[in-house]
Structure 1
């Protein structure tokens, strides 16, 4: 894929590591009725996205025990690899055959050995020696080395067992053991923690999780930009007390929905307007780029790339950098801010079509 500007024009200094700035790729992005296939991935890459976080639903990958269907995720992983984008999968969603509570999407697995086999199968498909790369030698290999284990288990909508931490930690330990056996260089990434995330992390430590994960991840949803970093600082203090001071933190969801007056309020002054979303995104990227070394924030993902306004009752329908409004797919004002920030942070006078080409 060609460069949009001459390589000699790349004189600015990169301020963040490659892959630091990403987006969540979910929902309508995987629906051909909304996303325009390769064109949407091209738009993502040329807007400065260098990494994507996306759900790998177990129930879709292994609908029947022992029978794996990688076809949908193959397309996503290849689309990202063609553009030099890293992929962070979020492994979640127990199939009915493996669930403690069949029919409940928030159910954890009944037998952790089933989850271990899934993790081994995923590394075998997408890891450094993955069969996907052998089948597609025309695509530059972009192996998946980091795996996020579940999403927001401290919320009952994602984990229906109470207390949640002991059973989640048992799953985490199982995943970590399977991942390290299949790929010793892999990273076991903690589930993204929202709300009072420092309390959730303390509960995870108390359940005996230390040594079973390599990255702490946060979803610091709050109305004020400065409070997002404040949450990270509080969590960092918990990690220091637990002797994990050097462990990185990833912000795997950051957002302010432009849903004020359009959908249910998500709490306090969290919802905002299109202009407010753009200004908060701009301020947040500047603040996190400034604080990232001190707080060891090694990745940041905006939630989300593409959303459909009014498709549900949630304000997050208005969180997309790209949005479908009245059936028309269009850029949000925040996308302009995101792209400008990406150019500055990545040291590119213009954003390029392949994330690997923007370098100093």
Structure 2
């Protein structure tokens, strides 16, 4: 009996030390992925298993496109069915959702027939946002209809994607018209949910110049978060981009505003895709090593630079479905109809466990999240 009691006391002393050694290094929800491709198809048979795998791999936040053209095909007629399934899948696993609202329907487009057209009347966009908050916000009808699901209301809304690229915004100069939409969106969101966050569109390429254009167009005060897509070949340059952008924000008196990196990726497309991806295309091994280095670096610099979230692009991609190198960006990939893990997935899992305070002694990633 004495040996048993002594052993139990020894275990009690060791457990706190183990727990302290595995201290969480990033806030809840800091690490996420983009969910697109097959995950946007409600008929995709592997969907539920992929969401389980995502949550079990340390994903705590999901960014996904909400295409206006698919939600409101005719004025005032909203079809939330597809997005209901995605939002519920995330909520069932405790994941937050960041929607990217983009893609003007033809009836509302300034340039009908052009997928990159901004809306003709920004009031149409404002009504869409109000409808989305009514569906998915704190008092959303989705949560009332599904009391069996723990409510995960959407409070942050990203307004468009990469408007400084003509493939997403075809009006030049782009900044004045985008800022007009942003201001309208911010007013609509705050009216529908005063606690909501208006998230700036993700800015790629020379993002600091794009942000300066947004400020010059009068956007200060119309957004709560700056977001970046720092695609570049070298890991150290991704953080360098954030530092340059932070200096712009400081000059514009937005020193305390958070930055979210809503796309970070190195496609493993070297030698595989016609449009490989510029200097950031790499191999599977290169993708894995850059992901590991980037997560370490951003976690180290996140407080100094105010980086509140980081999303990898993307969770699941289909190899060779287009000419784009991003077909090879997924942590999980479909190759000839067969799913497989990219080498980068094991890196993501390992780093997620480390950053979230998980260890073999404490259990797997899912247990650590709860």
TM-score grouping bracket, smaller chain normalisation: over 0.9
How many residue pairs get matched?
Answer: 351
**How far did residue 29 of structure 1 move?**
1.7
Secondary structure of the residue aligned to 1:191 is: coil
Q: Does 1:115 align with 2:125?
A: yes
Counterparts of 1:191 and 1:159, CA distance in 2: 11
Question: How does 1:37-56 map onto structure 2 within 5 Å?
Answer: 37-56=47-66
Aligned counterparts of 1:130 and 1:269: Cα–Cα separation in 2: 43
Which residue of structure 2 lines up, in the alignment, with residue 140 of structure 1? 150
SS at match of 1:353: helix
Give the Å deviation of 1:269: 2.8
Give 1:174's aligned residue. Answer: 184
Q: Give the 3 Å change call, closer, same or farther, for CA 169–343 of structure 1 in structure 2.
A: same
Which residue does 1:283 correspond to in 2?
A: 293
Cα shift at 1:352 = 3.5
Q: Give CA-to-partner distance per residue, 1:96-126, whole Å, 9 cap, x none.
A: 0100111111000001110110000000000
What TM-score do the two structures reach when normalised by structure 1? 0.95
Cα distance in 2 between the residues matched to 1:283 and 1:328: 29
Q: Aligned-pair distance for 1:30?
A: 1.9
* CA distance in structure 1 between the aligned counterparts of 2:364 and 2:253, rounded to whole angstroms: 40
Which ranges of structure 2 fall in alignment gaps of 5 or more residues? 1-14
Aligned: 1:187 with 2:197: yes
Helix, strand or coil at the partner of 2:273: coil
Alignment-derived partner of residue 68 in structure 2: 58
Q: SS where residue 52 of structure 1 aligns?
A: strand
Which 4+ runs in 1 deviate beyond 4 A? Answer: 7-11, 32-35, 265-268
Please tell me whether the aligned partners of residues 236 and 245 of structure 1 are also in contact (alpha carbons under 8 angstroms).
yes
SS of 1:269's equivalent in the other structure is helix
Larger RCO (CA within 8 A; separation ≥ 6): 1
Contact 2:161–2:168 (CA under 8 A) maintained in structure 1: yes
The corresponding residue for 1:353 is 366
Say yes or no: does 1:253 pair with 2:266.
Answer: no
Counterpart for residue 6 of structure 2: none
**Cα RMSD over matched residues?**
1.5
Q: Classify the secondary structure of the residue corresponding to 2:279.
A: coil
State the 1:261 CA deviation: 0.5
The alignment status of 1:301 with 2:301, answered yes or no, reads no
Looking at structure 2, the residues matched to 94 and 49 of structure 1 have their Cα atoms a distance apart, in angstroms, of 30
SS at the partner of 1:87? strand
From 343, 346, 354, give the equivalent of 1:344: 354
Q: CA deviation at 1:348?
A: 1.3
Q: What is the CA–CA distance in structure 2 between the aligned matches of 1:148 and 1:285, rounded to whole Å?
A: 23
The TM-score with structure 2 as length reference comes to 0.92
